[in-house]
Amino acid sequence: MPHNVTVVSVDGLPDELSVPFVEPVPSNLRCSLCYRITEHALSDPRDHIFCSPCTQVLSDVENMFTCTVCAWQGRQELLTQRRNVADAVRALVVLCPKQCSFQGSLLTLKEHFRGCGSTQGDEVVSCPLCKEQVTKRGLGLHVGKFCNMRIEPCPYCICSIGHADMEHHMSSCDYRPSSCQYCMLPLDTFKELREKHLPQCELRPRLCDYNTFGCVYEGTSEELRKHEAETNHIELVNERFQQMNRTFKESKEQCSASIEQLRTTVDGLFAKNLDLENSVQELRKQQDQKSHETAEMCARYEEKFRELQDGVKKNEVSVGEWQESLRTAMTDMTLVGPEFKHIWKIQPYSHLRRVTRSAENKYLKSEAVRTGSPGYLFTFSCRFTESELSVCMNVHSGEDDDLLPWPLPGRIIVTLKSQTNPKNDVDKVIDTTNPSIAECFVRPEAGGINPRFGFVDFVKLPVLENERKGFLVNDCFILQFTILLAKNSPPNE
């Protein structure tokens, strides 16, 4: 039976073509990831084979390849062509995918495939009954004679049955020819044997009429008549009745014992009920006492509540003064435009953490982002240390710099988003007026980048990976950068 295997990167054959091989293809000639066969196999230093498309999938943006079998890592250029694998693949014996009579090596199939199937009749189609792949020209012959799902009439009855189920149906069909296993009389149908002949067959063994009384004799009708004439069944019947009488007496005794036990149980339950009623009365007395104590306690709490209300009224004046001062401070802050938010999804986390650990540049960096039009130009970056996540930013020189106020005024909020419960979000704020990082917010030189600023220890990695926090979902975590721009920075708190 042919073994269908998909080919990829085989010269002269279309990718993803299913080719029937005469013998099973050894695993050392197939891609270790997708199990397809390729003519241009690449191998890592440990002889694990991969096709060209899979090497691209397993390489990161810096062309660092990771083997899925042994986790070996190295640059893609270190993978080597395996000519011996290519030669072995070309020598494998195959059949034509278009189901013509061709059989030969994969190398000769490439030449044959170009001219095969040029007519309409060689087109490969699926059988509508069994879904097997056959040529369009041979579909009629397949459905009529070879398809396991083709419908055939039963030779005994009027039923139409699939070919695959015909043998089972014929062995159980009521209208199949049969014969009695006792008298060997041939009959036209099994139904006639079952319904008419067997109930009347003289040679069919039957049980003695006194079987219910314990007689185990079994024989033909003639043998039963002789047995009943020669055997005295009265003693057997008498013994059976005596046994039933003994059973009745034992049951009566067991019933009397059960009734006595039930009376004892009822008396015990009655006594427990009296005890329960006494307990309920005692609990009611305790409840009345507790209700009186609760009423007194509520009166004391109401007095305390009135005192608290008086205190709240006294504090309302102070709160009003604080609100007025807050409104004044808010008035002094005028936004250049609406707040700017940027969402950065970082995935796959486990792969990126592993890759950056061995890379020269430890930082993952976003593309340049503009805060508006006109707007400041930012890039965001993060880094995984052994135990912490660092989050940083840079201000870049942009084409709108002449239209913007400098140094950059406002605040920047960095948020680690919880994907399951927003209450778990982690926020950290950067004040651009902080003197220690003032050089990061001056106007950059043309084509230049200001120094990096941010948080070296933004969050511990065990916290980031904690499933209950909801930061890491499907190997992805989310950073949100909110930039609030103001003409005058708010006063330090």
Would you say 55 and 34 are in contact if contact means Cβ atoms under 8 Å apart?
no
Q: Tens digit of pLDDT for each residue in 439-470?
A: 999 999 999 999 999 999 999 999 999 999 99
Name the pLDDT band for 121 (thresholds 50, 70, 90): very low
In one-letter notation, the amino acid at residue 342 is H
What is the residue-wise DSSP string for 353-365?
HHHHHHSSS-EEE
In eight-state DSSP terms, residue 368 is: P
Q: How far apart are CA 397 and CA 155, in angstroms?
A: 90
Residue 270 makes CB contacts below 8 A (sequence gap 6+) with none
Q: How far apart are CA 432 and CA 405, in angstroms?
A: 13
**According to the model, what pLDDT value does residue 4 have?**
86
Q: Tens digit of pLDDT for each residue in 314-333?
A: 888 778 777 776 666 555 44
Residue 317 is encoded by which pair of tokens? 């004046």
User: Can you name the residues that pair with 12 across neighbouring β-strands?
Assistant: none
**According to the model, what pLDDT value does residue 278 have?**
92
- Please report the sign of the dihedral spanned by the C-alpha atoms of residue 11, residue 12, residue 17, residue 20: negative
**According to the model, what pLDDT value does residue 474 have?**
95
**According to the model, what pLDDT value does residue 83 have?**
87
Name the pLDDT band for 489 (thresholds 50, 70, 90): very low
Closest CA to 66 of 397, 354, 278, 418: 354
Would you say 123 and 117 are in contact if contact means Cβ atoms under 8 Å apart?
yes
Name the pLDDT band for 209 (thresholds 50, 70, 90): confident
Identify whether 407 is preceded by a cis peptide bond (ω within 30 of 0): yes
Would you say 404 and 337 are in contact if contact means Cβ atoms under 8 Å apart?
no
Would you say 9 and 51 are in contact if contact means Cβ atoms under 8 Å apart?
yes
**Rama region for 327: left / alpha / beta (φ>0; ψ in -120 to 50; rest):** alpha
Q: Tens digit of pLDDT for each residue in 250-269?
A: 999 999 999 999 999 999 99
pLDDT over 90 at 3, yes or no: no
Residue 59 makes CB contacts below 8 A (sequence gap 6+) with 65, 66, 76
In one-letter notation, the amino acid at residue 299 is A
Quickly count: other Cβ atoms within 10 Å of residue 95's Cβ: 18
Name the pLDDT band for 336 (thresholds 50, 70, 90): very low
* H/E segment holding residue 7: strand 3-8
* CA neighbours closer than 13 Å in the CB half-sphere of residue 457: 4
* CA neighbours closer than 13 Å in the CB half-sphere of residue 46: 11
Name the pLDDT band for 140 (thresholds 50, 70, 90): confident
At what angle are helices 106-115 and 83-91 packed, to 10 degrees? 60
Identify whether 20 is preceded by a cis peptide bond (ω within 30 of 0): no
pTM over 0.75: no
Would you say 443 and 401 are in contact if contact means Cβ atoms under 8 Å apart?
yes
Would you say 3 and 25 are in contact if contact means Cβ atoms under 8 Å apart?
yes
Q: Tens digit of pLDDT for each residue in 11-22?
A: 888 888 888 999
- Please report the sign of the dihedral spanned by the C-alpha atoms of residue 364, residue 365, residue 371, residue 372: negative
Span 402-408, average pLDDT: 93
Q: How far apart are CA 443 and CA 432, in angstroms?
A: 13
**According to the model, what pLDDT value does residue 338 have?**
67
pLDDT over 50 at 492, yes or no: no
Quickly count: other Cβ atoms within 10 Å of residue 92's Cβ: 19
Q: How far apart are CA 106 and CA 145, in angstroms?
A: 31
Quickly count: other Cβ atoms within 10 Å of residue 340's Cβ: 20
Place of tokens 């699926």: 126
Q: How far apart are CA 478 and CA 329, in angstroms?
A: 33
Compute φ and ψ for 57, nearest 5 degrees.
-65, -35
Would you say 149 and 161 are in contact if contact means Cβ atoms under 8 Å apart?
no
**Rama region for 71: left / alpha / beta (φ>0; ψ in -120 to 50; rest):** left
Residue 162 is encoded by which pair of tokens? 């699939």
